[in-house]
Each structure stands twice: as structure tokens, then as C-alpha cells.
Amino acid sequence: MENDQIAEIFERLADILEFQGENPFKINAYRKASRVLKDLPLNIRELHEQRKVATLPGFGTALVKKVEQFLTTGKISKYEQLKNAVPAGLLQLLDIQNLGPRTLAAAHKKLGVKNLDDLVKVIENGKLAALPGMGEKKVNKIKEGVDFYLSVSERFRLGDAYPVAEEIIQRLQNQFPEISLSMAGSIRRMKETVHDLDILAATENSKEVIDFFVQMPEVEIAIAAGETKGSVRLQNKMQVDLRAVSSRNFGAALQYFTGSQAHNIKIRGIAKKQGLKINEYGLFRDDNFICGETEDEIYKSLGLQWIAPELREDRGEVEAAAQNHLPELIKLSDIKGDLHVHTIGSDGHSRMENLVAAAKKLGHQYLAICDHSRSAGYANGLSAERLLAQIEAIKNLNKSLTDFTLFSGSEVDILDDGSLDFPDEILARLDIVVVSIHSNFQKNPTERILTAMENPHVDIIAHPTGRLINKRDSYQVDISKIIEKAIEKNIALEINSHPWRLDLNDQHVRVAVEKGALLAINTDAHHVDNLNYLKFGVGTARRGWATAKNVINTLTIQQIRNWKKQRTVRQK
């Protein structure tokens, strides 16, 4: 949590400095420091205690002092000073897509914009469009950003919320080793964003557990502390609800508090037709308790297969369970490797050797090194010469590896005309070619991707819709056409597991699965710790009803090579 808190302050400092027209080098230093902290696998406090904060990339004396100040006082004086110099309502506007600090500064200075209401007003009355360098087209994009911001402003990304829930559960388990604990609600369903966190405990000591819960050090406000339920707001503004039930009722409560409202209504309807009643305490006939200890017995008693939490959205899962037709969903253990990771060669923070060691610990058999291509200057993209040198380095490293293979690859930019950032003679030397759009998102994205897919060397389309959850909406891409072309060309579509992306999303996955397209669940890792993001990609795949057969990185090394060979021959 401290890593994220300091990273957020550094990001805000960069925004405020840009708003004030400060030195770009100083601004970029804060942004880079923020990214480093977000990717850092260790708690920054550990490095501080070892006096190693200065070893982090880009952390000079000034940044180190700011980290030390936060860890000592909980604040950074530079941020407090600058924050107080900017109207409070303006800071939140910096999260709005398509509204940069410079545009916001102009709206503030020339139109008196101080908050969201002011911004909406100058959009609607045309004053924002009249500013120099603006115009209707740019204002329309800002308005889209405002609408998007309003739709997501009270929800947290799964990747931000899930570790918090894990940490709280671990804290409770350490204190009360005899109790059973589980996530519930939308976070257990692995929804891409959640409103709050639901945790369920099976205990006969409910009051003691709840009293401990509401007094945890990360709690900012204890909202409620009753006999069976506690609610808190954490310092990171997330609300967490803990419900405590007896072991006899744990399965029923878990089923009740996990399913979406629509799923639970359908389950209650099935129970009612059978003369039964279901609630968080169990399944009943009249007042006679039938079962409630496990979810499986609840569903079985209703004549249904057990339904995986990720499916409980009333999207046909109940009907399929009644016919015993639910698919065997892909599991994290089915994944044999990751086909899209970055190293220090471009904008990653880890060396190939470290990524290999971390991947082997996860039980992987292979990785594809896919650093950015040359046009991605912002990400230190590799020139053709640097890429060829990396291919040789990978070959040499493979000679020393046992039971593991590194694939040479590249994340190649799709250019404005749909051509690729490297010529075919370079692409032909790669084991895995991942392609994606990284610029000019509004410039014919569908046509660009379709054109790129005509290239016989393309294996995977990375993050196909380009969205950043809670930050940037998808670009206007016709995903149905992309899926059809992927099937035609035997190209895999990526489920990017990075918690800011989860792209393809669950509904796109469902369409791809139903039509028969291949998928690749990758992490887009920029640090060894990011390899753990796979669980979010697998969760998204499961929400889309994907099985292991739908995903290419459930294949063995030789099967991957065979697929690549067959696909390339087929396209040529």
C-alpha cells in the first residue's frame, strides 16, 4: 500500500508541475519514479530500512528524501505545498481522459474552471471550444472523457483491489488460524472493477473477529462493527465489508454473497419452483434446514452443477448448469508460459535471467521476450540492430537453460497505414511476433489491425482494444471483424493480464470462444513481479467461458512451434 501511495503522490506532483508549466525533465522524473514504485515487488519500507532506496532507477537524492519523509511522517511536504496552490477541485480533473494538464491550466486561467461542474459548464456553453488550439473536435473528446470518468469514478480496478483483499485475509488468518475465510462479491467473480470488497469468515467467535477487523492499522474509519458484520473504509478509500457466519452456514453465505443480483434471483426462482427457500443461512424446505455448509451441496440440491464464481452473472450459466453443460474452465495451472514480457532492453525493469528464474518458480516452461519496436521511442524501443543482438543473446542464454525455453520476440508497433515497424526479413527471424497499436488511436484502428493481420509473420494481436481501465476507454475498433480475421489467419488474440488492461475483456472473450478464435493469456510484464498478473488474465478468460483448448499458451513448447509453423505456412 505504501508503494502505491507514494507512486500516486509522485504522479500527482508530475501533473501539478505540468499544470504549472514546469521543467519537462522534472515532470518526467516523477512519472518514471511513480512507474518504478508501482512495479516494485518489495515494500518500499524494506528498501528504506536497508538504505537501498537510492538503488532504484532514477531515484536521486531529492526523490529518496521524499520517500523517507513519507515513511516517517505519512506526507511529502513538496506535494502538500503544491497541492495547496491548486484549487482542490482541479486535482480530480487530472484523471479525465483527453484532458491534459496544459488544457486544464488554460481552462482555469482563462475561463475560471475550478471543478468538474465548471468544466461541464464551459463545455456545454461553447467557451472551452473557443480557446486557442481547441475546437469542437477536441472538446467532444474531452466530453467523452468526462462521461467516462463519471461512469468509473467510484470503482476500483481488480488489480488494485485484489491484493488488498488478500492482505486483509492473510492478516485475519494469522490472527485467527482456526477460521475459514474467502473473498465474496464481485472481487471473487473477478470483475474488472469493484465498488467495494466483500470478505466472508466462518467462525464461532464472530464478535472477536469483527472487533479485530475494524481496528486493523490500515483502517481509516470504522463504519460499523456489529455481531455478524463489520464495515470499514481503508486509508486508500476502499470500503471493506466482513461478514461472519457459522461453519454450518458458510457455503450458503458464500453462494449468496458471491453471485450477481441477476444470478441470485434466478437461483431463488429455481428453489421456489421446487418448494424450497434459499438465503445466506442455507437451503430450507419450510423451516427445515437441508444444507448450507458448502456451495457445491447448495447447487447440487437444486439439481445444478456447481457454477464457478466467475460465471455467476446470469449469462446462461444457470441454464447450462441445469443441463450439465458447463465448460471445464481454464485454470491458472493450465498455463505453461507467457508470450509477451519486457526486459530492460526497452522499458522493462528486469533482465532476461531474472525473468527466467521467476517464471520457473511459477512452473512455466517458456517465455517470449517481446520488447518494444523502434517507433516506440517513449519506451526505448529496440532498433533493428539491437533486436538482432537480443536474438543472439537469447540463443546463447537458451544453451545454458534446462527444461525451459526463451522465445525471441518483439512487440511490434502497427503503424498508421497498417504496416509493421520492422521489415519482413527481421520478423522472419523471430519466434513470436506480437503486434499492437500504441499511437494515433483514433486513426482507423480496425483497418490498421486487419491490414497488419495480413502479414504472415504476425502471431498475436496484443491488447486489441487499447483501453486502460478507469483511465482510457477503448478505441473504436470493430472487434467482431478482428475475431473473424483472427480465425481466418489462425492468429491469437491476447487477453492482456495487466490489471490496467484486461484486454480483451470478458465479453469479447465469450464471443471469441463461441466463434472459435484462439487466445493468448499474457502478462505484458515489465518486472518479474508482474508475472503474477496471469491470475487476472485467467480470471477474465474464465468469465468469458474459455477452456484450456482455447488458449495457445496452454500448449507445450513443441506444440507452440508447430502452431507457429503451420500458421505461417498456411498464410503464405
From 509, 494, 507, select the one nearest 553 (Cα to Cα): 494
Number of helices (H), then strands (E), in the chain: 24, 17
pLDDT of residue 98: 83
Residue 433: strand pairing partners: 410
The distance of Cα 64 from the centroid of its chain, to the nearest Å, equals 28
> At which residue does the C-alpha cell 419450510 appear?
286
User: What pLDDT, in 10s, does the model give residues 470-518?
Assistant: 878 888 899 999 999 999 999 999 999 999 999 999 999 999 999 999 9
Rounded-to-integer distance, Cα 572 and Cα 570, Å: 6
DSSP 200: E
User: What pLDDT, in 10s, does the model give residues 161-203?
Assistant: 999 999 999 999 999 999 999 999 999 999 999 989 999 999 9
Helix, strand, coil tally for the chain in percent (to 5): 50, 15, 35
**How many CA within 13 A on the CB side of residue 468?**
10
Q: Name the residue type at position 262.
A: A
From 124, 130, 86, select the one nearest 105 (Cα to Cα): 86
The DSSP-derived string for 7-52 is HHHHHHHHHHHHHTT--HHHHHHHHHHHHHHHH-SS-HHHHHHTT-
pLDDT of residue 1: 60
Task: Give me the count of residues in the chain.
Answer: 572
Sign of CA dihedral 440, 441, 443, 444: positive
Residue 552: strand pairing partners: none
Instruction: Encode 366-381: b = buried (16+ Cβ within 10 Å), e = exposed.
Output: bbbbbbbbbbbeebbb
Rounded-to-integer distance, Cα 323 and Cα 554, Å: 28
Sign of CA dihedral 172, 177, 181, 183: positive
From 106, 98, 66, select the one nearest 82 (Cα to Cα): 66
Instruction: Encode 315-346: b = buried (16+ Cβ within 10 Å), e = exposed.
Output: bebbebbeeeebbebbeeebbbbbbbbbbebb
> At which residue does the C-alpha cell 450439465 appear?
324
Rounded-to-integer distance, Cα 461 and Cα 252, Å: 42
**How many CA within 13 A on the CB side of residue 205?**
12
From 182, 219, 224, 174, select the one nearest 202 (Cα to Cα): 182
Task: Compute CA distances 27 → 15, 425, 494, whole Å.
Answer: 8, 39, 33
Q: Is the distance from CB of 415 to CB of 375 less than 8 angstroms?
A: yes
Which residue positions in the chain have pLDDT lower than 70?
Answer: 1, 88, 151-153, 568-572
DSSP 444: -
pTM: 0.80
Parallel, antiparallel, or unpaired for β 282-285 and 288-291?
A: antiparallel
Residue 222: strand pairing partners: 232
